[in-house]
Amino acid sequence: MDTTPDGRQGKSESWVREWVGWSELAPAGNVEAGAWGTWELTYHVGRYGVDDGGTIVLSRRFASDWAKPQTDAPGEPHYASVRTSGSASLRVRWDPKSNVRPWQQGLAIDVFDSYLAEGDTVTIVLGDRSGGGAGTRAQTFCEKNFRFRLFVDCFGSNRFIEAADTPSFSIDPGNPARLVIHGPTEQTPDETSWMQVKLEDIWGNPCHGIDAQVSLTTEGGICEGLPGTVQFSHDESAVFRLENLRWEPGKWGRIRGDAGGDIPPAYSNYVHAMEKTHRWRPFWGDLHGQSEETVGTNTVDDYFAFARDMAGAQFSCHQGNDFQVTKDTWSAIRAATKKYNEPGRFVTFLGIEWSAVTGMGGDRNVMYLGDDGPLHRTSHWQLDDWTDQETDRYPLDALYDALDGRRDVTLVPHIGGRRASLDYHHAELERVMEIYSSWGRFEWFVEQALEKGWRVGITAGSDGHKGRPGASYPGAAIFGVYGGYACIYATELTRESLWEAILARRVYATTGKKIHLSFSAGDHFMGEEFESTDPPLFKVRAVGECGIESIELKRASQTVCSYRPKDATAQNTNWFRVSWSGARIHQRNRQTHWHGGLRVDKGKIEEPRNWQVDNLEEGVQSTDEQSIRWLSRTTGDADGVEFRLSGGDGATLFFETDIVSFEVKIDDIGAVPYVVEAGGVRQQVEVQRISRAPGNPHTNVTFDVDESNFHDGWNPYFVRLMQEDGALAWSSPIFVKKAKK
């Protein structure tokens, strides 16, 4: 249900075809996600013609990562050519702001030195190979109804009408490249458990129509009801949910899967089979993303169905930009939210993204407990119907006033394209804030809020626009990282129980992995606040999907202590990690380009590999015995490389990028990172030795700390955990106020 205007003013398709013209695409038919090829779109000019000074724009959606065309180098990838049968000359340019959101991205073709007449054609070749180029890459994520929309300004007036016969096709998943297995992280004594097994293509799309078999075994405990194999067939999605599993009580177990061929074995998250029922249980989901009704992909029904069936999420919320939400769209969102809510299986929340200019409050996700709630937009900026404009609430203080005193609504400050302002805060309405999403990692955002005295919990989500909530791969453009996950400690999987937990800040965030994390101080759990005359004793229990590299106890932005269980085995190895992280600015266009490399003057670099690189088109590009070259962009997150250096005693490592360059003696590098600051927003480079010991002996860690130096006033303590693969988790804080004796 795309609400973007087509400029036709209600004129029929036949009228548009006759007067404005029409388009056709070759080859026609569906396209495999991420496939390389050549596509030729031909525009047939209508009776109006196109005047000298007119423009034709081939538009695609904001979220699409179909490779950006270039028009300067015929022998290079993604070359686009344009020709006409008419007498006019054509000037081609890529314009990321050529149309109305969400169809901003476009190839603009200016007509000059003559005109185009009825019957003339304009042919656009995407991925033109005639000059020796490799073609171009299609969009990397699936879409049921992908469209190239052709808009024409026939009279040079800057008013565009969409041509007839817009090409439409589906983008389908490719062949299996990855096996994914996951499920809950705890099993109660009186319930059975479940696991999801799925095959994904190289871009993270769940496969379909694959004849494949996956063998399953357990590690760490017996799992009754687990079949030895799962069989996928040609007439179904390669996603299977195993039900009625029962793990051996008291054990931490996981499942190993083997799909054979070139697909690497996969391991599930660990599951703790509880011997007794605890007060709260962890539930996993994604509370942030949107669909094609605003700026995302596929419908709101598809959105919730993917979260439940393809991602295996246990809860979800849709968050469309408010200034695009029509009355009909709001009705559709409410209906889908109600339809997919199934207590005990999959819980949905109604939501809308209040999307203001940062200075007026910035982005806040609005979530409702019930099936309905007031729709207070920031504005009607992209709507035709302004009859209910009086319901708008702007700036943020006006929204606070409208919702003040309600316990059935909550706001979640976050950073997407625009960022939330920390100059506004409502302590009762804003109980948690987002530290991470597909847009990047924003630890500074949460830490600044805590330094300002906010008592908020920490969550994460995908903010996905690609129709994959709960499994939001970044693709190849715009978004920098895999989407985040929220874990909520609640009594049961219902709206009411999850809602109570969110308001109580009993929630933590991860960068998409199901890392088990428990954080307490005596009888007080994450999210709670209490006063104490004695120093608090904190306990952390963490179980990673792979080895845990570090656990930090933080008080707002200060690191109180750090526990690094693998440092002893890493200190004298000849394995190294060089990583870089941070963002250019706090605002939009924050990505830092780290394109460059490293080299050594002695020794031999062996087994170089990417570390934490999310974009398949980035990472290591070339290597030799003494150098590694890469492409990399970060948006608060970290990318890096790992390698073994043989015969490197006394060597010097040279790091060379446009952001920062430096040299360091290899003999001076230990397990604790050597850090070089690089300006911007926490831009830095780390060089360290790492352990490659097999078996991941530090997946299950208990960490205690007696914090004797807590300050007067409220102290916000939280945990930051990092696995050896770079995945992160952050607990919500425990707020401790130092009381006078």
Q: What are the pLDDT digits (tens) for 424-433?
A: 999 999 999 9
How confident is the model at residue 614, as a pLDDT? 93
pTM of the model: 0.96
How confident is the model at residue 9, as a pLDDT? 87
Lowest mean pLDDT among 163-167, 306-310, 729-733: 163-167
**With bands split at pLDDT 50, 70 and 90, how would you rate the model's confidence at 3?**
low
How confident is the model at residue 703, as a pLDDT? 87
State yes or no: pLDDT of 739 exceeds 90: no
Order across the sheet with 627-631: list the strands.
Answer: 619-624, 627-631, 596-600, 652-657, 661-665
How confident is the model at residue 741, as a pLDDT? 75
Which residue, 481, 515, 547, 472, is CA-closest to 719? 515
The predicted model gives 495-513 an average pLDDT of 98
State yes or no: pLDDT of 667 exceeds 70: yes
**With bands split at pLDDT 50, 70 and 90, how would you rate the model's confidence at 487?**
very high
The 10s digit of each residue's pLDDT in 377-386 is 999 999 999 9
State yes or no: pLDDT of 696 exceeds 70: no
Share of the chain above pLDDT 70, in %: 99
Residue 156 DSSP class? S
- Strand segments (E) across 356-446: 363-368, 409-413, 432-437, 440-441
The predicted model gives 267-296 an average pLDDT of 95
**With bands split at pLDDT 50, 70 and 90, how would you rate the model's confidence at 46?**
very high
Total Cβ atoms within 10 A of residue 145: 13
State yes or no: pLDDT of 117 exceeds 90: yes
Mean residue pLDDT of the chain comes to 95
Phi, psi of 593 (to 5 degrees): -95, 115
How confident is the model at residue 148, as a pLDDT? 95
How confident is the model at residue 694, as a pLDDT? 58
d(CA 478, CA 298): 18
**With bands split at pLDDT 50, 70 and 90, how would you rate the model's confidence at 707?**
confident
Q: Give CA angle at 388 (382, 390), nearest 5°.
A: 105
How confident is the model at residue 709, as a pLDDT? 83
State yes or no: pLDDT of 168 exceeds 80: yes
Lowest mean pLDDT among 79-88, 121-130, 469-478, 604-613: 469-478
d(CA 332, CA 195): 31
The predicted model gives 364-379 an average pLDDT of 97
| Separation in Å, CA 72 to CA 39, 79, 619 | 18, 7, 25
Contact 469, 499 (CB under 8 A): no
Share of the chain above pLDDT 90, in %: 91
CA atoms within 13 A on the CB side of 425: 15
**With bands split at pLDDT 50, 70 and 90, how would you rate the model's confidence at 693?**
low
Q: Which two tokens stand for residue 53?
A: 């000074």
State yes or no: pLDDT of 726 exceeds 90: yes
Pairing of the two strands 347-355 and 363-368: antiparallel
The predicted model gives 121-141 an average pLDDT of 98
| Separation in Å, CA 611 to CA 404, 578, 581, 606, 659 | 46, 9, 12, 15, 19
Cβ within 8 Å of residue 572, ≥6 positions away: 689
**Between residues 714 and 692, the one the model is more confident about:** 714
d(CA 211, CA 235): 9
Helical segments of 257-404, H only: 300-305, 327-340, 396-403
